[in-house]
Amino acid sequence: MSKFIEQIILEHYAKGATTMGKTRTMAFQVSEELFQQIKEYLARYEQTYHRRLSQKEFVIGLIEQALAEADEEFEAAEAAAAEDLADEIEDMDQEDEVTSDVESDEDAEPDDAPEGNAEADTALADCAGADAGFDGPAFDADAERAV
């Protein structure tokens, strides 16, 4: 008899522990067909597991399961968004490196410079030599003529 009373007290406090917090009521209507399906499910559950499952426990279990799945989906979506952002930042960094390499190449050889024109290269070299120190043979000849 004492074990039976102890079991009842433990069950009572175990149930009380889950419902002792502040609670709110959710009320909603369902179709007769859905209501009958739920009743049939609860009857089969009791036959299969030899434990009665109340409508309240059933609905709360479904809601908790759906919320847990939604949390997992939100976390996966946030992780995917963070990964996409990291990939975009990495791509931007790589583009910046390529752009800086291209700019340094452009400074070395401009695109509008003539390529393979020997006469133009010789003329540029002559001009550069004349401007460098004015001590080349062309300058001396001009200086002698002027005197």
Give 84-143 pLDDT, tens digit per residue: 988 888 888 887 776 666 565 555 555 555 555 667 676 666 665 555 555 545 555 555
Identify whether the C-beta of residue 130 lies closer than 8 Å to the C-beta of residue 139: yes
DSSP letters along 80-101, please? Answer: HHHHHHHHHHHHHHHHHHHHHH
Q: Residue range 36-55: average pLDDT?
A: 95
Residue 141's pLDDT is: 54
Q: How far is CA 108 from CA 15, 39, 104, in A?
A: 81, 83, 6
- pTM of this prediction? 0.47
Identify whether the C-beta of residue 18 lies closer than 8 Å to the C-beta of residue 26: no
- The fraction of the chain above a pLDDT of 70, given in percent, is 61
Q: Which of 107, 134, 91 is nearest to 126 (CA)?
A: 134
